[in-house]
Amino acid sequence: MLNLSKDKSSIQNFPKSKLDEWIETNGLGGWAGTSLTGCNTRRYHGLLVASINPPTDRMNLVSKLDETIILDSNRYELGTNDFGDTIHPTGYQYLVSFAKELFPEWIYEINGVRLKKTIAMVQNENTTLIRYQVLKSPKKFTIEFLPLIAARGYHNLQHASNNIFWDVDFQNGIFHNVPYDGAPNIYISIPGSTYIHNPKWFYRFNYGIEKFRGLDYEEDLFNHGMFSIELSEGDELGIILSTENMQGKNAFDLFNIEVERKTSIVNGSGNSIVQELTLAADQFIVKRNVVENSAVESLKTVIAGYHWFTDWGRDTMI
């Protein structure tokens, strides 16, 4: 496989690395994707962008899941956000590498802790997987997760109001919320975690590419509460974000299925560049449900691109 990578000097150059983007797709028209720094620069960036009626009716449900490491009573925030007049936090400073073979992978180094993060999506599901591997750590540490909810159409922007329900259910490490009547479910599974409910808005996230395009570029995101879990060297943590209840499902098993699927796609497809192009092309083949004689038939179609195109024939052919 072709290894697309960025070293420490490249990825910590925020003005440049925030313009580089990654995307993982799910065969339905949904995706997870943002800049390499983790800073959202488009309204279309999100960790769980679901396609409710494949490949259309896309919704940005979970915009971000920002992490904080607590070590020796010190807090190290790994997220990066643009608030216009300030960048906060500046977690990109802890990034030492980015690589993309089958999936995008990041490595963080924080005061002796070396943490690897990998992101994938499950084919034919509105489900995002995040895998954390503690490659090195001098002692146990706590990692907190802050989910930032957008819960809106992917072309729109969210603004603080009473339009997101605060109530959640948290059992056996699984968070469940329905943002509003008729909205998709949001499930976040963090096995072994504790959850503290503290609903509040975070204001004025700036999306630089939207601003450059002359469009509205400020958004407010909602947080229901904080997850936390203790980790040590050698530990692995698998997180699932989905519109479906993940009870009884294991993130590592789902990762392995995606590894096998992607590997089967590139087997026999030539050199590393051809293999990478094959994986990229696969992201454009998606499901479309067609109703004929009151029966729903699931067909395949080819979309024209990400983030806003669907299967527009003319644009697809271009």
pLDDT digit string, tens, across residues 197-248: 999 999 999 999 999 999 999 999 999 999 999 999 999 999 999 999 999 9
Predicted TM-score of the model (pTM): 0.95
**Residue 55 preceded by cis peptide, ω within 30:** yes
Q: How far apart are CA 36 and CA 277, in angstroms?
A: 20
Helix (H) or strand (E) holding 148: strand 141-153
pLDDT digits (tens, 9 = 90+) for 103-137: 999 999 999 999 999 999 999 999 999 999 999 99
Closest CA to 311 of 53, 62, 35: 53
Measure the CA–CA gap between 211 and 206, rounded to whole angstroms.
8
Residue with the bigger pLDDT between 315 and 85: it is 85
Burial letters 243-257, b for 16+ CB under 10 A, else e: beebeebebeebbee
Q: Tell whether the torsion through CA atoms of 202, 208, 209 and 212 is positive or negative.
A: positive
Q: Domain locations in the chain?
A: 4-270
Q: In Å, how far are 101, 102, 241 from 275, measured between CA atoms?
A: 10, 10, 28
- Residue 2: what pLDDT? 63
- Tens of pLDDT, residue by residue over 282-300, are 999 999 977 777 766 788 9
Report yes or no: 88 and 100 within 8 Å, Cβ to Cβ. Answer: no
Q: For the residues of 201-227, what is the DSSP string, one character each? A: EEEEEE-HHHHHTTS--EEEEEEEEEE
- What's the fold here for domain 4-270? Beta-galactosidase; Chain A, domain 5 (2.70.98)
170: Cβ contacts below 8 Å, ≥ 6 apart: 176, 195, 197
312 secondary structure, DSSP code: -
Token code pair at residue 72? 């020796």
Report the pLDDT value the prediction gives residue 127, as an integer from 0 to 100.
98
Of the candidates 50, 184, 56, 54, which has an alpha carbon nearest to the alpha carbon of residue 126?
50
